[in-house]
Amino acid sequence: MSELPVVIAPDALPALIEFLHSRQLTALNLVADANTWRALGQRASQALAAAGIDARPLLLAGDEVTPDEQTIVELLLAAGREQRPYLAAGSGVITDLTRFASYCTGNDFICLPTAPSVDAYTSTGSSLILRGLKQSIYSQAPMAVFADLDTLCAAPRPMIAAGFGDVVAKYTAVADWKLATLLWDGPYDDAVARRMEAARDRCMTQVDAVGAAQPEGIHSLIDALIEAGLCMLAFGGSQPAGQSEHYISHYLEMKLVREGRKPVLHGAKTGMATVIVARYYQQMREMSHAEAAQRLAASTRPDRAQEIQRIRLAYGDLTDSVVAEQAPFLNWSEGEYDRLKARILDRWAEVQAVAAQVPAPAVLADLLQRAGGTADPAALGLGAEEMALAEGYGHYVRNRFTAMKLSRVLGLLA
Quick one: pLDDT at residue 414?
76
Asked if the model's pLDDT at residue 1 lies above 70, the reply is no
Q: Tell me the per-residue pLDDT of 34-78, one tens digit each, with 9 for 90 and over.
A: 999 999 999 999 999 999 999 999 999 877 888 899 999 999 999
The predicted structure's pLDDT at residue 63: 73
Please tell me whether residues 137 and 208 are part of one structural domain. Answer: no
CA of 99: how far to CAs of 222, 229, 299, in Å? 19, 13, 44
Q: Are residues 89 and 219 in the same domain?
A: no
> Three-class SS of residue 337?
helix
Quote the domain boundaries for residue 165. 160-410
18: domain CATH number is: 3.40.50.1970
Of the listed ranges 2-6, 82-86, 230-234, 262-266, the one predicted with least confidence:
2-6
Find the DSSP H helices in 31-187.
34-36, 42-50, 69-79, 92-104, 149-153, 157-168, 170-184
- Report residue 294 CA to chain centroid gap: 35
Which amino acid makes up residue 366? D
DSSP string covering 270-291, please?
A: HHHHHHHHHHHHHHHHH--HHH
Closest among 34, 56, 43, 38 to 16, alpha carbons compared: 43
| Residues 248 and 378 reside in one and the same domain | yes
Are residue 129 and residue 185 in the same domain, yes or no?
no
Q: Are residues 149 and 190 in the same domain?
A: no
Boundary (domain end) residue, out of 137, 155, 173: 155
Give me the number of domains the chain comprises: 2
Task: Provide, rounded to the nearest whole percent, the portion of the chain with pLDDT above 90.
Answer: 84
Kindly state whether residue 1 falls inside one of the protein's structural domains.
no
Residues 325-339 have pLDDT tens digits of 898 889 989 999 999
- pLDDT interval class at 291 (50, 70, 90): very high
Q: Are 98 and 141 in contact (CB under 8 A)?
A: no
- The rounded distance, in Å, linking the Cα atoms of 32 and 42 is 9
Domain boundary among 110, 140, 155: 155
Output the CA–CA distances (angstroms, integers) from residue 131 to 91, 317, 404, in the order listed. Answer: 23, 10, 25
Give the pLDDT confidence score for residue 154 in this predicted structure.
97
